[in-house]
Structure 1
Amino acid sequence: MNHKEIWKWIFEIAPDHFLLSVAKVKGLNLRIPGVSDVQHIKKEQLRAFRPRIINGLLKNDKLFYICQHFDEIPFDDELIEKISQIRERDSDNLYAEIQSDDTAIDLPSVLMVLLSSSEPDDHTKAAALFEKVKEKGELDAHAQKIKQSEQKEKENREEQPEPERKAETAEYEKQYRQEKKRSEILQQKLDECKEERERERREWKEAKQAYEAETQTIKRELHRKEQEVARQEAAIAKLEQDKEQLRTSLQQAQARIKELEQSKQSLQSRIDQEKQAAEEMKKQLELIKIIHGIEGTDDIKIKVLLFGNPRNRRVFSIPKYAVRVVESSEIDQFLESEPQAKADEVWVLTYRVPREQQVRLQQIYQSKVVEFADFHKLKTYMEGK
């Protein structure tokens, strides 16, 4: 249930003097149309301003102030003493209390005590109590009860003797002066609190601005640091990449050097072998010269044309053969430039010379041609003949 509905009912049935005392609570600062200052409204004028006063009191900020400053509203001492007891009881118990003829506590007072509490459970109790009374159709009866109580108090005041009325008036005036003084003290405290809050607001604003400025400075510095770290990480990554490339290049260079060293060793070994073969051949030629008493060896050697390079120096190590090697890629050129080249024998390495050239050589040299399918057969032929 909307709490405003409850407050509206309370204000609508409230006696004139109570409603006016609530409207004049100084810290409330109630403003109503047609009145420059609510403090100047007199009791006899209230009827005309009553609807506007109720509408002003029902505004959210005014209801909030009334609840927060409930102790400033002039209630009976008996009600003030029972505030804590009222808030401790449940809605059913309170309903039974306000229905009793012997109670001095009315429904509006109980509802105001509950609604002004800081505990949400008390607000729930107030709503439940009001709803129960409303459902039973007893709201008008409680309103009439308030009106009768007010009328009775008015009659009692009129029946009082003049001295008593004067004494009561003096007492009211005394209470008014006390309330006025109390209101002035509260207003002074309120003004001091406002000044303190304003000072605190300025200090908070300055602190907030300083904090925001410092935060921005830190953010900019952090952003700069992050960019610097990113650049350093990129540079490190590039160095790592270059390092890896250099390592790979170094490994490839080392492998190449090793390969070249092996080739060098292999080549040197072949050179040594060729030198050794040449030396042996030279010695054999010298021996032949001594035996035959001749200057050269051309007359005793068999002249051979070897078509296809066997890639082996052993073909030159047999003294009785004067071997002339013709590469397979040079055969056509040789036949054109030296078609009448003399030779005792013509050897053809069929595994080196293409078939077409083999046929052509057969046609040219005919019976002189000896074919070899591999180097082993060539070697066997040279050594065995």
Structure 2
Amino acid sequence: KNESLLNYDYELEITSVAKVNNAKFLKEMNSIFPVDTVLKHFGYGVHNFYLALSIYKNGKPSRYTFVQDVGFMYGSVPEDFREQYELNHSSRKKKSANSVFYNSFVDKNTIFETKLGQLAGKNVSSIKYFEIRIGIDKNRKVITPWTIKEIDLKKYLPVFDGKYDRNDFLSGGFTTIIGGLEALNGKITYPSEAQKNGVTGKVVVNAYIDEKGNVVGAQLFKGIGWGCDEAALKAVSEVKFHPSPSGKCQAIIPIDFELEYKPENYDLTNTRITFSPIPPKVGEKNKVFFNVVNVGQKALPKKAFVNSLYIDNELVMASISKMKMNPNKSEGYFVSWTPKRIGKLNYIIYLDSKNELNESNRTNNVIKGQVEVK
């Protein structure tokens, strides 16, 4: 709580008010984020995004920002959040998802009519969140035009078991679910009410994991309602993770709720990276290996695409691949690397870094981790 900073409404004695001019909002969305762009990056289904509106002490709406998930601007988020959801690395494509998200827009068209909230009897600045939604069927028809509604941010607060809180999970780390996605999918129940109303889309949950791999907290980053959010939170809380070498950590888990059969395309990810010798030593050459696996249901055609490896913010390799890859098949990459300093160094693998392929899933194309150099 602070009179000079942006406050959440649930922290205020009198909440702020923001009335939406729906006609102007719809026109704005169709202009900056048309249906073709939504389809290109997210496919068909019901898609929920979020709008953060800043209201400063002059009482006027200042700027609004579109985010893909509440977690990006609300709560403690792993630093790789934005990169995990980056959808377009190519500057050649004029209209990308990231030309809309994470950028501030001035409310020059007076979409919002606002009134300040109060704290300790004084008017204060605040920030409000809105859920924005569009529904598109597989025939590219808009079944639900852009809608907007204010949300209660308490729904997106992390919930912990026992002694932990969010401050215990500020350090990095990497982990995976024991049993993989099959173990998670086996615990998901698609709510009957959601199925009856044709609700589909993606729910994103952030899991807080202790040193033993137990989920001790969960936070909703993105929801679609109709009981799907609760079903996703319940499923994530029931799985077990491999213990992370760094101890307590977080993991972002996207969960798809789909009704109709959707033919799976090819889908690339990385499942292995090794350094030889281990541990790497500063000033000495090290052989790095990582693989690219097609975990999709269709073969990857023989088409050129680029895979890149960065270590300690330096490009170590950018390789063009033209290999046809059948489902569950992989190809490996070797590269020589000489560490320049001692310590825990971050590495990032970008698969199809120029977004040349038509994959069924791009959320697993950015893989991060650490290697300790002696």
TM range (shorter): under 0.3
Q: In terms of Rg, which structure is larger? A: 1
More strand by share: 2
Which one has more relative contact order, counting CA pairs under 8 Å at least 6 apart? 2
TM-score of the pair, normalised by structure 1: 0.21
More helix by share: 1
